[in-house]
């Protein structure tokens, strides 16, 4: 009996070890649709190197703006903000720490010739969800980027639609948002604090 008990404990320990390993390798999550719900519900949510977690509940945040992307002719973007970000900028310093902005980036529908299709309203139409892009403003941010990549206390992250860390060079995000110092490195700041 005693030996059996020990074996059981040992096997249990191994199982826990495997689960931990899975959690530390978020990139290995399979993109099978059937597993999406499990991946989102499971405690092993993907986390980037900078410690940004996949915002699994982002659809419950406020969808403050949706539009045809202004700098990408074949994409559509839907923007979500948590309550802190939705409060808008303070007089100085932009949004408060703890602000989270989530961007759903969709491919636009294309016709047979590969041209973007527009609706009767002259708007692009959503095809596949391509990327979930996140900006999180952190008080404890310790990034030491050169001026061209410095975005104050904002950290960037990119996830695949099924919640794994996307293979993206985040310096491209930083480079495009960095010049917007006057609006706290945000393109859509005027659309926050509108409720």
* Residue 45 Cβ vs ligand HEC, minimum distance, rounded to whole Å: 17
Tokens of 2: 């005693």
Question: Using CB under 6 A as the criterion, what x/- string covers residues 109-138 for binding ligand HEC?
Answer: ------------------------xxx---
Report the alpha-carbon distance of residue 156 to residue 38 in Å, rounded: 25
Q: Between 141 and 187, whose beta carbon lies closer to ligand HEC?
A: 187
Q: Which long-range contacts (CB under 8 A, 24 or more apart) does 16-23 make?
A: 19/44
Q: How many residues bind ligand HEC (CB under 6 A)?
A: 21
The DSSP secondary structure of 34-62, one letter per residue, reads GGHHHHHHSS---B-TT-PBP-TTGGGSE
The CA distances from residue 66 to 19, 87, 189, in Å, are: 38, 18, 13
* Closest residue to ligand HEC, based on beta-carbon distance: 173
Binding of ligand HEC by 103 (CB under 6 A) = yes
Stretch that binds ligand HEC, among 35-43, 111-119, 122-130, 169-177 (CB under 6 A): 169-177
Binding of ligand HEC by 46 (CB under 6 A) = no
C-beta atoms surrounding 104 within 10 Å: 20
The CA distances from residue 16 to 3, 10, 12, 23, 121, in Å, are: 20, 10, 6, 11, 54
Binding of ligand HEC by 79 (CB under 6 A) = yes
- The continuous run of DSSP H or E covering 135 comes out as strand 126-137
C-beta atoms surrounding 169 within 10 Å: 9
Which position among 64, 106, 156, 159 is part of the footprint of ligand HEC (CB under 6 A)? 156
Stretch that binds ligand HEC, among 39-47, 90-98, 115-123, 185-193 (CB under 6 A): 185-193
Which position among 172, 181, 190, 194 is part of the footprint of ligand HEC (CB under 6 A)? 172
Task: Provide the binding-site residues for ligand HEC, judged by CB under 6 A.
Answer: 69-71, 77, 79, 101, 103, 133-135, 156, 158, 168, 170, 172-173, 176-177, 186-188
């Amino acid at each position: 009996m005693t030996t059996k008990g020990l074996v059981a404990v040992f096997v249990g320990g191994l199982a826990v070890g495997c689960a931990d390993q899975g959690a530390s390798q978020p990139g290995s999550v399979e993109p099978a649709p059937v597993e999406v719900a499990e991946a989102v519900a499971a405690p092993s949510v993907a986390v980037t190197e900078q410690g940004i977690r996949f915002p699994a509940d982002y659809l419950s945040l406020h969808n403050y703006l949706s539009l045809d992307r202004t700098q990408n002719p074949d994409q559509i973007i839907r923007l979500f903000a948590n309550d802190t970000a939705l409060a808008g900028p303070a007089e100085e310093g932009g949004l408060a720490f703890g602000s989270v902005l989530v961007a759903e980036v969709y491919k636009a529908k294309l016709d047979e010739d590969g041209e973007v299709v527009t609706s009767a309203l002259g708007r692009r139409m959503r095809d596949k969800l391509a990327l979930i892009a996140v900006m999180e403003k952190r008080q404890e941010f310790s990034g030491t980027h050169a001026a061209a990549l410095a975005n104050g206390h904002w950290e960037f992250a990119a996830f695949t639609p099924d919640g794994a860390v996307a293979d993206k060079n985040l310096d491209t995000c930083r480079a495009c948002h960095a010049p917007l110092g006057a609006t706290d490195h945000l393109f859509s700041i005027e659309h926050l604090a509108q409720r």
